[in-house]
Amino acid sequence: MVTMKRLYGTTFTSPVVRLYSDYRLKCGVEIHTQLNTKNKLFSMSTNDPFYSTNKPNHHTSYFDLGLPGTQPKLNYEAVLFATKLSLALDCEINTNSQFDRKHYFYGDQPLGYQITQHYKPFSKNGKLVLSKDIDGLEEEEKTIRIQQLQLEQDTGRSLYKEAAKNTLIDLNRSNVPLIELVTSPDFTDIKQVRGFIKKYQNLVRHLGISTGDLETGAMRVDVNISVNEHPRVELKNLPNTSSIVNAIKYEYNRQINLIRHGKVGNQVVAETRSWNGKETVKSRSKETTIDYRYLPDPELPRIVLDVSLINCIKAALPELPESTLKTLMDKPFCLSIKDAKILTTNSNKQNVLYSHNEIRRYYLDTFSEFTSLKDSPEQSKLPSNWIIHELLGNLNKLDIPLSEVTKILPAKVFAQFLSLINLKKISNASGKLLLFHILQKFKDSGFKDTTPVDLNSVINEYDLGFVSNCSPEELKEVCQGILDNLKDRSIINDLVSGKKKNSIKYLVGLGMRSLQGRVDAQSLQDMFKEILGIKW
């Protein structure tokens, strides 16, 4: 028996992170993903992703409002998106799927039923493979099985007004196309759940079928959790990844406490619970779940897909993120996993200035141009270091879109810029100053002069080249002067003893400042080591 501290109380603000071998966690997830189609699923209403910020009930048609006599008309773009996702998840696509009616009465569902795919879903038996290196798992690899994917319509939104003691209904979201994904209960660790959600979110963005934003409700996650095969509890109202993780941690420990100490009438029961930011709270008992009375929708024909069409869509799919990631980490690029993820992970927050596709394309083009230069020794890390860390940092700092920058610094010119640094015609410090100056000047001009930059003229204009007549004697004199004027003499002692080798970077920085960044750092470092008699 694993010894544990008290895990659960009336207030639980800091859930225990670790899992216990005696209490086996078992999870499955259900994810509802809003699709970025032009129109809604069964009407011609505009599918506006920012419906929540617009006027209530503005993006609606007669069918969205559930008016009598209106009929659904299937949006085939949603079928295309469902096919793409099914193929990317290695699912078996049902070439003859159907829509069913799920009956229930609620204010945000004016039809009195929701159109979904209960009996014959769009696809099934897929998988998503997670790994230790890429997804942060404890084990080397974990396969999560996808039970099914189904198309369905979203509901409206209920806005509760406590002060007025009423509920307002906004049907802008009604009939927005959704894909519901249901996994098998294959998750045995919280890191697996987090890794799956992140990977799935990146996939739907990569395919261009959804924004994948949890915060806006474009992607909504429910988690089913049980411990030691006790009754399953469903967790809802999980607005973001941290809430999902914290809710699972809390519920895991709550169920352990009940298993160990629960008395009759206070044990784990099958129920639905919501997350309020601190704890899971009971919403309803599974015993009281209503009968949805599913039946095939008589107004919608089946979705019959030709195999040749599916093959055509499959052939047109872009390379999937994981494959791209592995390519970038392999030769000749040899990127770290962190840098490779920057070029393959879709973040909607960055799309204002650059998308992952844009920056990856620019990196690949620059890498190709740089390595093709005959006078440029191979330095595979140089393009990634300068594009991912320096260029993107400047774009964010100056608020400049990459699409504008590529006009004055096309891949060929940026490769020449890297070559100047690689051949030590300008120092790293000078290169950083030069790059920032070019971008700042371009922004100040209002992006009007789009002529590609003449690097040599800019270098000459600002005298950024290396000091050509700096003899070893002169360099030694500068370095000796820096050492003689050091106030903190312990730096020298630490360097000579090898106690703090990184201290030499401080001396190099002083030398670069003294020579205005026009001597390469390696020459300065070598001279300091020579003067101090350092052999390491």
pLDDT (tens digit, 9 = 90+) per residue, 2-25? 334 434 343 334 444 578 889 999
Measure the CA–CA gap between 283 and 279, rounded to whole angstroms.
12
Alpha helices in 177-240 (DSSP H): 190-206
Assigned domain for 8 exists: no
pLDDT at residue 410 greater than cutoff 60: yes
Please check whether residues 255 and 391 belong to one and the same domain: no
**Confidence tier at 214 by pLDDT (50, 70, 90):** very high
Please check whether residues 198 and 66 belong to one and the same domain: yes
Length of the chain counted residue by residue: 536
Please check whether residues 454 and 483 belong to one and the same domain: no
Assigned domain for 345 exists: yes
pLDDT at residue 490 greater than cutoff 70: yes
Strand-by-strand arrangement of the 92-93 sheet: 92-93, 123-131, 141-153, 177-183, 25-34, 219-227, 233-236, 271-275, 280-285
What confidence score (pLDDT) does residue 213 get?
93
Please check whether residues 164 and 276 belong to one and the same domain: yes
Cα angle value 488/492/498 (rounded, 5°): 135
Nearest Cα to 252, choosing from 187, 197, 201, 198? 187
Which residue, 296, 327, 347, sits at the end of a domain? 296
Measure the CA–CA gap between 358 and 343, rounded to whole angstroms.
9
Which residue, 462, 493, 523, sits at the end of a domain? 462
Please check whether residues 527 and 419 belong to one and the same domain: no
Measure the CA–CA gap between 257 and 31, rounded to whole angstroms.
28
Assigned domain for 11 exists: no
Domains contained in the chain, number: 3
Q: Specify the 3-state DSSP secondary structure of 378.
A: coil
Which tens digits make up the pLDDT trace of 105-142?
A: 888 999 999 999 999 999 999 999 999 999 999 999 99
Assigned domain for 435 exists: yes
Integer Rg of the chain from CA: 30
Which residue, 416, 436, 462, sits at the end of a domain? 462
Measure the CA–CA gap between 344 and 356, rounded to whole angstroms.
6
Measure the CA–CA gap between 275 and 243, rounded to whole angstroms.
8
254-263, 334-343, 411-420, range with the lowest pLDDT? 254-263
Assigned domain for 5 exists: no
Please check whether residues 212 and 105 belong to one and the same domain: yes
Assigned domain for 3 exists: no
Averaged pLDDT for residues 166-171: 92
Handedness of CA 458, 461, 462, 468 (dihedral sign): positive
Nearest Cα to 482, choosing from 519, 508, 516, 521? 508
Please check whether residues 185 and 225 belong to one and the same domain: yes
CATH number reported for the structural domain that contains residue 505 in this entry: 1.10.10
What confidence score (pLDDT) does residue 375 get?
63
Find the domain containing 69 and state its range.
25-296
Please check whether residues 330 and 417 belong to one and the same domain: yes
What confidence score (pLDDT) does residue 467 get?
52
What confidence score (pLDDT) does residue 353 get?
87
Q: Is the pTM of this model over 0.85?
A: no
**Confidence tier at 50 by pLDDT (50, 70, 90):** low
Assigned domain for 4 exists: no
Averaged pLDDT for residues 186-210: 96
Assigned domain for 310 exists: no
Identity of the amino acid at 237: N
Measure the CA–CA gap between 252 and 190, rounded to whole angstroms.
10
Nearest Cα to 511, choosing from 390, 431, 425, 427? 427
Measure the CA–CA gap between 397 and 511, rounded to whole angstroms.
27
Please check whether residues 341 and 450 belong to one and the same domain: yes
Nearest Cα to 245, choosing from 459, 22, 25, 415? 25
State the average pLDDT for the chain: 89
Please check whether residues 237 and 330 belong to one and the same domain: no
Which one has a higher pLDDT value, 230 or 21? 230
Please check whether residues 447 and 479 belong to one and the same domain: no
Share of the chain above pLDDT 70, in %: 91
Q: What contacts 88, CB < 8 A, 6 or more positions away?
A: 203, 207, 317, 320
Please check whether residues 171 and 55 belong to one and the same domain: yes
Which tens digits make up the pLDDT trace of 241-281?
A: 999 999 999 999 999 999 998 776 778 999 999 999 999 99
- Residue 151 near residue 78, CB atoms below 8 Å: yes
